[in-house]
């Protein structure tokens, strides 16, 4: 079993995995300037989804608990997420609250885990 933690160190919120007894602390968010406070495990515990700022901006990322396979799956995530990220039961998509540069209206989106795109489900702009 592994625990998922977010906490502030050096004035920056970071994402860590740690064994229940406090050993094997592993920082997952090297190179990030900010990490959102609502990371979530995939149903099969093989992935962690989280929002963060890195390089070109704020987005939705996934990473393996061992720190491998980090990639951004959605670039336009609203900074004011009002609920947890939600995984599809098959671990193929992550649902999130977001907006796009073309349509600033916040809505619910789903992003493919493989990074193959995201689409708006609610609150579409015309």
pLDDT tens sequence across 13-50: 788 888 888 888 888 888 888 787 678 889 998 999 98
> Which listed CATH number (3.40.50.2000, 2.120.10.30, 3.40.50.2300, 1.10.10.10) goes with 3-120?
2.120.10.30
Kindly report whether the global pTM for this prediction surpasses the value 0.75.
Answer: yes
78 pLDDT tier (thresholds 50, 70, 90): low
CB 107 within 8 A of CB 100: no
Residue 54 scores a pLDDT above 90: no
- What distance in Å separates the CA atoms of residue 100 and residue 78, rounded to the nearest whole number? 9
CA angle, corner 111, sides to 78 and 28, nearest 5? 75
The average pLDDT across 91-115 equals 86
Residue 10 scores a pLDDT above 70: no
31: left (phi over 0), alpha (psi -120 to 50) or beta: left
Domain boundaries, the chain: 3-120
Residue 11 scores a pLDDT above 80: no
C-alpha separations of 122 from 42, 68, 84, 96, 97 in Å: 23, 32, 17, 11, 10
């Amino acid at each position: 079993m592994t625990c998922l933690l977010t906490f502030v160190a050096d004035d920056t919120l970071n994402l860590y995995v740690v064994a229940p007894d406090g050993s094997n602390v592993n920082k997952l968010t090297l190179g990030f300037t900010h990490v959102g406070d609502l990371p979530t495990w995939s149903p099969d515990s093989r992935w962690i989804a989280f929002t963060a700022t890195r390089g070109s901006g704020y987005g939705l990322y996934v990473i393996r608990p061992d720190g491998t396979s980090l990639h951004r799956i959605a670039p336009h995530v609203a900074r004011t997420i009002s609920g947890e990220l939600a995984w599809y039961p098959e671990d193929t998509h992550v649902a999130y609250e977001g907006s796009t540069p073309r349509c600033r209206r916040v809505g619910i989106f789903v992003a493919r885990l493989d990074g193959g795109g995201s689409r708006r489900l609610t609150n579409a702009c015309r």
